[in-house]
Amino acid sequence: MAKPNYSFEKRQRELAKKKKKEEKEKEKAARKAAGLPPEPDDAAGDDADEADRAEGAQPGTSGTAGSA
């Protein structure tokens, strides 16, 4: 059986992320040039979720599992 090429998959994810970021910056510049108000950032909520995942916390759990 063939061995998975994780470095290729990682590079593809990085390229997709870079492309998405560039498109977002281009859209933001176009909005600024057109004089439209900027869209609200949802990044603050996303960062909090990522921090919880990094700490191993699960949403909706209080840490008192099994105590009744």
State residue 13's pLDDT score. Answer: 98
Per-residue pLDDT tens digits for 36-57: 666 666 655 555 555 555 555 5
Model pTM above 0.85: no
Structure-token pair, residue 46: 């996303």
| Dihedral angle over CA of 21, 22, 23, 26, nearest 10 | 120
Rounded distance between C-alpha atoms, residue 42 and residue 48, angstroms: 11
- Which among 53, 17, 1, 22 is positioned nearest to 9, based on CA atoms? 17
